[in-house]
Amino acid sequence: MKFLRKTLLIPSLVTAFGAMSNALGAVDTGPTIRYGVEKVENLEIFFREAGDPANPAIVLLHGFPSSSHMYREVLRELSDSYYLIAPDYPGFGDSSFPSPEEFTYSFDNLARVVDRFLEQRGLKTYSLMIQDYGAPIGFRIATAHPERVQSIITQNGNAYKEGISPAGWGPVLDYWKNKTPELEKTIIENVFSYEGMKWQYTHGTRNPESISPDNWNLDYAKISRPGQHRVQLDLFYDYQNNLKLYPQWQQYLRDKQPPVLVVWGRNDAFFPVAGAEGYKRDAKDIDYNILDTGHFALEEDYKIIAEKMRRFLQARNIR
């Protein structure tokens, strides 16, 4: 009798679970973020993408020490109207991490690989969203292909000398003048440490306790891989060459006049608001916004920034 009751109960449970599954299937679970790898020059370039490729494209270029992970919320927020794609640079995130003997880690080379990646993915026109390292990579691409860039969105993506904080860049500025093992040790102990990773995400934020530790845990795990310190030191040293190109990038803004959206964390220890103000001199069509947050403004204000991006692009018929 007990067995009979159990056998009669099973179809009822199946029916109930089926109804529940149908109900859940009808619930909007949000946009789908897709993950892939593109082979570029014998490198596997990892990327995140969302939205319909037939829609206007936004290329999301990440900063140090992050990866495409930093754009996870932007991918979700804007994929209903735009196609978004965020690659990891060589040596970052889940992309290939060749040794410095196999690949020269310079911003010229990172930009070349990202440019080739975009061409292989078939992107003909796009808006560039740049943050931190994304700025020197994005501006190299923009100056090489100005006809492809529909707009520039800068979230603490600097292109002006006054946007370099002497205090925030202290040891690195010294490193440019005197490349010594002692300075390398100082940078490794302070910038590449777990606390250094955490500080970059929480400094200057309104609510540090709201910033997900997944960020610095992921970045610290990646930067702690054997050989990573050498890679990042090489890029720190090469960053001085970006400053030499600032006049060229500013001339590009003046000559080509892409619409520019500025969404800048005012409390950034590395790129102060003076860097944001520089864009006002060169861009005629500018939407200028200073936010009360830190270097990684998306962590605290992604909804605000995504909405400003949507309105900015729609107002310029990039939709």
| pLDDT at position 24 over 50 | no
DSSP 122-133: T--SEEEEE-TT
The model's pLDDT over 47-75, given as tens digits with 9 standing for 90+, comes to 999 999 999 999 999 999 999 999 999 99
pLDDT at 270: 98
Q: Quickly state the pLDDT bin for 148 (edges 50, 70, 90).
A: very high
Residue 95 clears pLDDT 90, i.e. is over it: yes
**pLDDT score of 12 more than 90:** no
pLDDT band of residue 31 (cuts 50, 70, 90) is confident
> What is the overall mean pLDDT for the chain?
93
Q: What is the mean pLDDT of residues 256-272?
A: 98
- Determine whether 203 is an active site residue: no
Tell the residue number behind the tokens 């910033």, with chain if given. Answer: 211
Q: What is the pLDDT of residue 198?
A: 98
- pLDDT at site 214: 98
Q: Which pLDDT belongs to residue 2?
A: 42
Distance in angstroms (rounded) separating the CA atoms of residues 54 and 232: 36
- Write down the catalytic residue from 62, 69, 145, 295: 295
256 — pLDDT class (breaks 50, 70, 90): very high
CATH topology of domain 34-164+242-315: Rossmann fold (3.40.50)
- Tokens for 205, please give them: 């934020």
- Give, rounded to a whole angstrom, the gap between the first and last alpha carbons of the chain: 66
- 287: pLDDT strictly greater than 90: yes
Pair 313, 56: CB distance under 8 Å: yes
- For residue 28, pLDDT over 80 is answered with no
Flag whether the pTM goes above 0.85: yes
H or E element that contains 102: none
Can you say how many angstroms the Cα of residue 100 is from the centroid of all Cα atoms in its chain? 23
Tell me the per-residue pLDDT of 161-196, one tens digit each, with 9 for 90 and over: 999 999 999 999 999 999 999 999 999 999 999 999
Asked whether the predicted pLDDT for residue 227 surpasses 80, the reply is yes
Instruction: For the chain, give every domain's residue range.
Output: 34-164+242-315
Predicted local distance difference test score (pLDDT) of residue 14: 40
pLDDT of 16 higher than 90? no
- What Cα–Cα distance (Å) separates residue 10 from each residue in 6, 22, 24? 6, 18, 21
